[in-house]
Copies of this chain bind each other. A is one copy, B any other.
Amino acid sequence: MTRAELFGQIQKKNSFLCVGLDTDLNKIPKHLLNTEDPIFEFNKRIIDATAQYAVAYKPNIAFYEAYGVKGWQSLEKTIAYIPKDIFILADAKRGDIGNTSKMYAKAFFENMNCDAITVAPYMGEDSVKPFLEFDNKWVILLALTSNVGGKDFQNLELTQGGELYEEVLRKSQEWGTTDQLMYVVGATRAEALTNIRKIVPDHFLLVPGVGAQGGSLKDVAQHGMNNQCGLLVNSSRGIIYASQDENFAEVAEEKARELQLEMQQYLSEFL
């Protein structure tokens, strides 16, 4: 999907919502466990319920890998089921030497036709570039993550000036364009968004951590939005596990709609 198409979807739906598909057999409603493929069954109903409010879905690959071959099958079916006009983001946090990254790119971009994959920056340029060789596919590079351990290395100060995550933002801009690269920026540090926007004014940012992880959507919109929105805000547990009863899909729809309505307001206020 191109940047223009993504922005088109955001304008059409008045939403920059990404729904995280962290589907866990221990958390989905019990009545689904008797179906042939409970993970896919759950995802299908979540997608049906939320597709009108979401511009992106983010399957968290770990949750599928944890079930081996069967989990991988559920993942492939889920990705195939997502409507074509919705951005699909494989949250895989991959990154390895060139020929290996190329294999990961093949897995997620060619075989599964995802639009984007999250990548860890530690191994540098030649670990990221193989993902950038596919037309209209995106790398979403980890920059500043919202977990407690994020500060262990990302906030280390460099003798050349700035912190490590700022150097990741600066350096990686040389590797691809704003039509190929996005960044992961944790929402619980919304005050850092102003600073981040100085370094990457035009890139899209993927912001996890709104909802269960506790960031403020208004802060994110106010400090992070650019003139093409430039934000994908993810909610996983706050939507998909809002209810664990038989009515889970309806409750997920409500929660997605609430977020979309809030986003609509911020789009008119800050865009």
A interface residue numbers (CB < 8 A to B): 22, 24, 60, 62-63, 65-69, 72-73, 76, 91, 93-101, 103-104, 106-107, 111-112, 120-128, 142, 145-154, 156-160, 164, 167-168, 171
Cβ A154 vs Cβ B104 within 8 A: no
Complex CA–CA separation, A65 to B91 (angstroms): 14
Q: Do A154 and B68 contact each other (CB < 8 Å), given the known contacts A62-B107, A63-B100, A97-B147?
A: no
Cβ B106 vs Cβ A66 within 8 A: yes
Q: Do A153 and B62 contact each other (CB < 8 Å), given the known contacts A68-B107, A69-B72, A72-B68?
A: no
Q: Which of B22, B97, B154 contacts A124 (CB 8 A)?
A: B154
Q: Which residues of B contact A94 (CB under 8 A)?
A: 62, 93
Cβ B142 vs Cβ A123 within 8 A: yes
Q: Which of B63, B112, B128, B149 contacts A128 (CB 8 A)?
A: B149
Q: Which residues of B contact A60 (CB under 8 A)?
A: 96, 100, 103
Cβ B93 vs Cβ A95 within 8 A: yes
Q: Which residues of B contact A91 (CB under 8 A)?
A: 96
Closest 5 CB pairs of A and B: A124-B149, A124-B152, A62-B103, A125-B149, A126-B149
Q: Which residues of B contact A62 (CB under 8 A)?
A: 94, 96, 100-101, 103-104, 107
